[in-house]
Amino acid sequence: MWLNRDMKLSAYMNKKKGEEIVKKEKFNFAPYILILPACLLMGLIMIYPLGKVFYLSFQHYNPTKPFTNGFAGLDNFITIFTKKEFYNALGVSAKFVACEVVLQLIFGMIVALILNQKFKGRGFFRALTFIPWALSGVLTAVLWSIMFNQHFGVLNDLLSKLGIIKEPIAWLANTKFVLGSVIVAELWRGIPFFAISLLAAMQGLPDDIYEAARVDGSTKFQTFRFITLPMLKNTIVLTTLLRTIWEFNSVDLIYSLTGGGPVGKTTTLSMLIANQAIKTSNYGYGSALSVVSFAILAVIAVIYMKLSGFGKEEA
């Protein structure tokens, strides 16, 4: 009697488990249906243009010369690596990106540390810091082109009154100063990105660690060096990588300020691509340059993330 009841109970439990397994294995389509419109939109505005660029990179395509259009094979890529302009543009890009990312990180960190302190009017200054980042690249270029103007620019006027220069300098036409001038203008616009990102990360750091450091007699520099910096590592790695990509692809401010001149001193790889599309309408060659630029950034990103150990906890 007891054995028979146990067997029935065991069979009932096995049946319930089987039903639960079937329910678990049943595929739920609802989440995928809900995200389908977003995926389609992403494919429309991102994947299709990217595929079109890769397609055009293997074509001779110039709307102004339709009789030359057709399949090019690797001709565009061969032209890229045999032209001096590519290596010159790559060199300018390397200088521009290195200076921007390093200087923006340093000044952004300083601003974030200041805004993380408690003082009267802190909210106002935090909002004020965001203004350069909110402005468009074209508007920023207009503002700085006025300040850099050789005849009525405020920069020349200020330096003349301080006795640093004797005659006005054409900051955007002088080959010695033009790249530095563009770097300064972009630096002003890029500092808020690091300041806001680092400040947000600092706000999430636990206070008890800083209390323990103060009790142990740690100086402000030691606290920054051994506590703040290590805890901001992932934020610094991510922001520097994002900013490297954005600065490498930056076009609006440089195009508005100098157009890549004079004599190619500010022609970055992105500017070279833009000029191919806007000035010469050589979309096939420009697309090939874009593919090479994409490959360079992909390699840099992978190597940088690997060397930095992004996301890995310290042992």
**In order of start, what are the domains of the chain with their CATH numbers?**
73-308 (1.10.3720.10)
pLDDT, mean over the chain: 86
Residues 131-183: pLDDT tens digits? Answer: 888 888 888 899 999 999 988 889 999 999 888 888 899 999 889 999 999 99
Gap between the Cα atoms of 22 and 11, Å rounded: 17
Element (H, E) at 71: strand 70-71
Percent of the chain with pLDDT over 70: 90
What residue has token string 């450091």? Answer: 213
How far, in Å, are 45, 82, 107, 158, 172 from residue 256 at the CA level?
26, 29, 25, 24, 11
Q: How confident is the model at residue 127 (pLDDT cuts 50, 70, 90)?
A: confident
Q: Where are the alpha helices (DSSP H) in 116-170?
A: 122-134, 137-148, 154-161
Q: Is-contact 207 118, C-beta < 8 A?
A: no
Instruction: Please say if the pLDDT value at position 49 is more than 90.
Output: no
Residues 11-37: pLDDT tens digits? Answer: 555 555 555 554 555 677 788 888 889
Gap between the Cα atoms of 180 and 266, Å rounded: 9
Instruction: Please say if the pLDDT value at position 230 is more than 50.
Output: yes
Instruction: Please say if the pLDDT value at position 102 is more than 90.
Output: yes
How far, in Å, are 133, 176, 189, 255, 258 from residue 138 at the CA level?
12, 23, 11, 9, 12
Instruction: Please say if the pLDDT value at position 315 is more than 70.
Output: no
pLDDT at 101: 95
Gap between the Cα atoms of 292 and 246, Å rounded: 16
Which one-letter amino acid corresponds to residue 155? Answer: L
Vertex 240 angle, CA 236 and 244, to 5°:
175
What are the backbone angles phi and psi of residue 61, rounded to the nearest 5°?
-135, 110
**The two structure tokens encoding residue 155:** 């920069």
Residues 238-254: pLDDT tens digits? Answer: 999 999 999 999 898 99
What residue has token string 């468009």? Answer: 136
Among 40-44, 61-65, 128-132, 146-150, the range with the most confident prediction by mean pLDDT is 146-150
pLDDT at 276: 85
pLDDT at 29: 79
Gap between the Cα atoms of 127 and 186, Å rounded: 19
Gap between the Cα atoms of 190 and 252, Å rounded: 13
pLDDT at 128: 87
Instruction: Please say if the pLDDT value at position 103 is more than 60.
Output: yes
pTM above 0.75, yes or no: yes
pLDDT at 314: 53
**The two structure tokens encoding residue 264:** 């190619």
Query: Crossing angle of helices 233-248/84-115, nearest 10°?
Result: 140
- Look at residues 261, 263, 205 and name the one whose alpha carbon lies nearest to residue 233: 205
